Amino acid sequence: MTVSKTSLIDNRYTVADFRARAAERARPIQHGDFGDHHLNPDAKELFLSGKMRDAAVLIPVVDRPDMPTVLLTQRTMKLRTHSGQIAFPGGRIDPEDHDAETAAMRECEEETGIGPEHVEIVGRLPEYMAGSGFRIAPILSVLEPGFTLKPNPHEVDAVFEVPLAFLMDEANHAQGSRIVGGHMRHYFEMPYEDWHIWGVTAGIIRVMYERLYT
């Protein structure tokens, strides 16, 4: 897709700068404490008491020359978890996956058609504990333009891009709340144009901001 030039352009948010920040600051913490429970401290034991399932997501920063973007998907309503939500390409880590990076790239290709030949891994954020029971490894990457999108209709309704500068601007990080399972739950949200980015995806974006851009 083509992203129009706007006032969001900022020389700090280049792909070269992103690579440098990832190399310097994105060292994963094996037993970190990042997740949905940060905004819901009363639910921490509930979120972390069950057996967490290992998953990985790819955070793809697209090397657009004027305005680097972050590639996101909208999940179909058919999926059992996080149906209809905005998400990074990703999913469960399978036994045959060599590591979280392998899983994230495999899932990206399965969901969007973007193969590993277009993906440059540049770092990994600390694991993110999701209230839905997943321990997620967020893999930072750079996507070189020239890929062809082939969204999997069984998993993905749409693939779109959001300027990196927009997502890494704290002014665009709002907080929302809703009743889930009879309890009030709080979350980050980052509406962009017609897309409502919230929940786990927004939480991971917030961690990325806090680790790389503060």
- CATH no. for residue 190? 3.90.79.10
Per-residue pLDDT at 48: 67
The total number of structural domains in the chain stands at 1
Question: Contacts for 39-46 with beta carbons within 8 Å, 24 or more apart?
Answer: 39/175, 39/186, 39/187, 39/188, 39/203, 40/131, 40/185, 40/186, 43/131, 43/183, 43/185, 46/131
Residue 167 lies in a domain: yes
Residue 173 lies in a domain: yes
Please state at what angle helix 199-212 crosses helix 15-25, rounded to 10 degrees: 80
The residue range of the domain holding 60 is 27-212
Question: What is d(CA 139, CA 150) in angstroms, rounded to the nearest whole number?
Answer: 21
- For residue 132, with 0-12 CB atoms within 10 Å meaning exposed, 13-18 middle and 19 or more buried, which class applies? middle
Residue 18 lies in a domain: no
Per-residue pLDDT at 2: 43
Per-residue pLDDT at 3: 43
Kindly compute the dihedral angle of the four CA atoms of residues 121, 123, 129, 131, in this order, to the nearest 10 degrees: -40
Per-residue pLDDT at 4: 42
End-to-end Cα separation, the chain, in angstroms: 29
Residue 12 lies in a domain: no
Residue 3 lies in a domain: no
Written as tens digits, the pLDDT of the chain (214 aa) is 444 444 445 677 999 999 999 999 887 765 557 888 888 888 777 666 668 899 999 999 999 988 999 999 998 877 566 556 899 999 999 999 999 999 999 999 999 999 999 999 999 999 999 988 899 999 999 999 999 999 999 989 999 999 999 999 999 999 999 887 777 889 999 999 999 999 999 999 999 999 999 9
Residue 19 lies in a domain: no
SS3 200: helix
Question: What is d(CA 214, CA 150) in angstroms, rounded to the nearest whole number?
Answer: 35
Residue 164 lies in a domain: yes
Residue 119 lies in a domain: yes
Would you state the structure tokens that stand for residue 119, as one six-digit string?
Answer: 């993906």
pTM: 0.89
User: What is the DSSP pairing of strand 34-35 with strand 128-129?
Assistant: parallel
